[in-house]
């Protein structure tokens, strides 16, 4: 009989959000009259900006007409969107990214999951803890790790993000080949300063490593001077790939659009030791395995870059940041220290006790669902993540309930 990919059997059996759902469903089954407010999973609640809706309608009309109908598009994305991205997301920051270095896709999750395919099986990984689980699990599936022992996989250099380092890990002593970084961070909401990112770029240059920089929450950065892109750091073009998404910028979680930047100056070596452009391989990956994003969706994404789109998406992210501020203030008032929420839609609260125990307490006493930090990795223990993706009404109601339950 055909054998399965045995690396899948190394995956930790539980999946955080499935575990949460199980506990919440069990609670609701016994307490149907007590409505639960969910500040757990990081999905947006507000509808798409009107500019995006108008672009979707207009593009749908084009698809209804023989003269303007479009079939298969370019796998890497239409020029109109790649050019808008290069101009507004990079040239505007003073960084130089060419439109053909931008690869449009249907999600950062997919891009982050897929990009590891172009690197060797014995690539040494450095991955933060706590972490967005996709970085780890995709590498487990690919066989780049050993077994899971006490919640950690053999063969990964874990980058501990703790109170001690302000939740921003410094480069390790060991040499890594592939480094995952995420700022503003999910789950902690922490942001990295220019100096902290410069240390990572210097490390990557020293070790001929590549940084996979996940900037899915870039649009939440408000503090002046905090880099929005890794390419704001001198020399990053030679060592970094950046992931961006329209999901949290413009509420595209149900529409799906994102992009990955692979600079043409980025090199890796082949088995014979010769340098090869990573860009060519990723281009090949896209052409072979991806059909491109739907034309109307790309038109909706391009609408984000119009003056009206910029205003509307800013209002959208400001709205969630308004919730985040309320959450942060409420936690501080309860005497709990926290980070995030000022440049990110997540607040990472140091509850100084077992995170699942705190989850149960909030569920049972306040009917509020948060995410226990332990689900994101060993360093997440003692913390919870609260998501600002909700209505103002739900957030204020949840905070009142939490205050009563915890006091
Ligand atoms: N990266 C991080 C850190 C995320 O939190 C998420 C979504 O939650 C993603 C990437 C995925 O974004 P997308 O919706 O574009 O797949």
Q: For residue 249, what is the domain's CATH number? A: 3.40.640.10
Same domain (yes/no): 203, 319: no
**Which residue, of 306, 336, 369, is where some domain finishes?**
306
**Is residue 394 located within the same domain as residue 277?**
no
Any atom of ligand 1 within 6 Å of the Cβ of 258? yes
* pLDDT digits 0-9 by tens, 260-275: 999 999 999 999 999 9
Between CA 400 and CA 293 the distance in angstroms is: 42
Q: Do 299 and 318 reside in the same domain of the chain?
A: no
Cβ atoms of 171 and 151 closer than 8 Å: no
- 188 CA from centroid of ligand 1 (Å): 14
User: What pLDDT shows up at residue 32?
Assistant: 94
Can you tell me which atom of ligand 1 is nearest the CA of 112? 10
- Nearest Cα residue to 358 out of 347, 346, 371, 345: 371
Most informative mutation of 16, 44, 108, 343 for ligand 1 (most atoms within 8 A of CB): 108
Domain count, the chain: 2
CB 188 near ligand 1, within 6 Å = no
User: 111 CB under 6 A from ligand 1?
Assistant: no
Rounded to the nearest angstrom, the distance between the alpha carbon of 53 and the centre of ligand 1 is: 22
228 and 356 together in one domain? no
End-to-end CA distance of the chain: 59
Spatial contact of 305 and 84, defined as CB atoms under 8 Å apart: yes
Determine the distance separating the centroid of ligand 1 and the alpha carbon of 42, expressed in angstroms: 9
Q: Are residues 272 and 375 in the same domain?
A: no
Paired with 38 in beta bridges are 369
Ligand 1 center–CA 29 separation, angstroms: 31
The span from the CA of 290 to the CA of 110, in Å, is: 11
Domain limits for position 57: 53-306
**CB of 106 closer than 6 angstroms to any ligand 1 atom:** no
Residue 231 to residue 238: CA distance in whole angstroms: 10
Q: Which residues contact 163 (CB under 8 A, 6 or more apart)?
A: 337, 350
Judge contact between 77 and 103, C-beta under 8 A. Answer: yes
Q: What is the pLDDT along the chain (407 residues), one digit of tens a residue?
A: 999 999 999 997 667 888 899 999 999 999 999 999 999 878 999 999 999 999 999 999 999 999 999 999 999 999 999 999 999 999 999 999 999 999 999 999 999 999 999 999 999 999 999 999 999 999 999 999 999 998 899 999 999 999 999 999 999 999 999 999 999 999 999 999 999 999 999 999 999 999 999 999 999 999 999 999 999 999 999 999 999 999 999 999 999 999 999 999 999 999 999 999 999 999 999 999 999 999 999 999 999 999 999 999 999 999 999 999 999 999 999 999 999 999 999 999 999 999 999 999 999 999 999 999 999 999 999 999 999 999 999 999 999 999 999 87
264 assigned to some structural domain: yes
Q: Which atom of ligand 1 is nearest to the CA of 257?
A: 15
How far apart are the C-alpha atoms of 278 and 144, rounded to whole Å?
19
> In whole angstroms, how far apart are CA 82 and each of 79, 90, 169, 227, 285?
5, 11, 32, 21, 18
Domain C-terminal end among 306, 325, 344: 306
The reply to whether ligand 1 has any atom less than 6 angstroms from the CB of 339 is no
- Is beta strand 368-369 parallel, antiparallel or unpaired with respect to 267-269? unpaired
What spacing in Å lies between the alpha carbon of 108 and ligand 1's midpoint?
A: 5
101 and 18 housed in the same domain: no
**Closest atom of ligand 1 relative to the 247 alpha carbon:** 14
Q: How far apart are CA 192 and CA 106, in angstroms?
A: 27
Cβ(109) to ligand 1 under 6 A?
Answer: yes
Task: Give the bridge partners for 241, in sequence order.
Answer: 212
CATH code, domain carrying 365: 3.90.1150.10
Supply the residue whose CA is at minimum distance from atom 2 of ligand 1: 216
What integer pLDDT is reported at residue 34 of this predicted model?
A: 92
Could you tell me the CA-to-CA distances from 223 to 3, 50, 139, 190 in Å, in that order?
Answer: 52, 27, 33, 12
Q: How far is the CA of 406 from the centre of ligand 1 (A)?
A: 31
Same domain, 41 and 160: no
Cβ contacts of 125 within 8 Å, gap of 6 or more? 139, 144, 145, 155, 156, 157, 176, 177, 178, 179, 180
**Torsions phi, psi of 312, nearest 5?**
-70, -40
Question: Which residue among 247, 290, 385 is best mutated to probe the pocket of ligand 1, counting the most ligand atoms within 8 A of its Cβ?
Answer: 247
Considering the domain boundaries, does residue 221 fall inside one? yes
Does 273 map to a domain?
yes
Do 95 and 157 lie in one domain? The reply is yes
Spacing, Cα 202 to ligand 1 middle (Å): 26
Residue 182 Cα to ligand 1 middle (Å):
10
**Angle at Cα 208 formed by Cα 187 and Cα 111, nearest 5°?**
40
Q: How far apart are CA 256 and CA 318, in angstroms?
A: 21
Q: Which atom of ligand 1 lies closest to the CA of 111?
A: 16
Angle formed at CA 178 by CA 108 and CA 41, multiple of 5 degrees:
35
Q: Domain ends where: 306, 327, 354?
A: 306
Report whether residue 105 contacts ligand 1, using a CB cutoff of 6 Å. no
Residue 1 included in any domain: no
Q: Which of 186, 218, 251 to mutate to test the pocket of ligand 1 (most atoms within 8 A of CB)?
A: 186
């Amino acid at each position: 009989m055909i054998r399965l990919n045995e690396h899948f059997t190394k995956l930790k059996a539980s999946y955080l959000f499935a575990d949460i759902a199980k506990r919440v469903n069990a609670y609701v089954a016994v307490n149907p009259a007590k409505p639960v407010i969910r500040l757990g999973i990081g999905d947006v609640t507000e509808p798409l900006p009107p500019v995006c809706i108008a672009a979707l309608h207009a593009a749908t009309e084009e698809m209804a007409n023989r003269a303007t109908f479009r079939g298969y598009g370019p796998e890497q994305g239409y020029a109109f969107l790649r050019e808008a991205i290069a101009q507004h997301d990079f040239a505007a920051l003073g960084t130089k990214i060419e439109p053909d270095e931008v690869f449009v896709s249907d999600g950062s999750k997919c891009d982050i999951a897929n990009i590891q395919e172009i690197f060797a099986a014995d690539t040494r990984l450095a991955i933060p803890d706590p972490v967005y689980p996709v970085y780890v699990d995709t590498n487990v599936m690919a066989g780049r790790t050993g077994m899971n022992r006490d919640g950690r996989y053999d063969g990964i250099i874990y980058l501990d993000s703790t109170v001690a380092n302000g939740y921003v890990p410094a480069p390790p002593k060991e040499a890594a080949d592939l480094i995952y970084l995420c700022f503003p961070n999910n789950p902690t909401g922490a942001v990295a300063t220019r100096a902290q990112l410069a240390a990572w770029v210097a490390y990557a240059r020293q070790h001929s490593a590549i940084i996979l920089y996940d900037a899915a929450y870039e649009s939440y950065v408000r503090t002046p001077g905090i880099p929005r892109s890794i390419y704001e750091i001198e020399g990053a073009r030679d060592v970094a790939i950046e992931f961006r998404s329209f999901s949290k910028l413009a509420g595209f979680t149900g529409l799906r659009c994102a992009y990955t930047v692979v600079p043409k100056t980025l090199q890796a070596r082949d088995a014979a030791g010769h340098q090869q452009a990573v860009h060519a391989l990723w281009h090949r990956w896209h052409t072979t395995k991806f059909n491109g994003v739907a034309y109307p969706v790309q038109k909706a994404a391009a609408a984000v870059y119009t003056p009206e789109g910029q205003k509307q998406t800013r209002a959208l992210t400001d709205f969630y940041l308004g919730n985040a501020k309320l959450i942060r203030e409420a936690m501080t008032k309860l005497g709990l220290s926290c980070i995030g929420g000022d440049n990110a839609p997540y607040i990472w609260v140091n509850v100084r006790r077992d995170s699942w125990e705190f989850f149960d307490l909030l569920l049972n006493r306040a009917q509020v669902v948060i995410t226990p930090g332990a689900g994101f990795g060993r360093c997440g223990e003692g913390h919870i993540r609260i998501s600002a993706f909700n209505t103002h009404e739900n957030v204020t109601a949840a905070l009142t309930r939490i205050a009563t339950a915890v006091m």
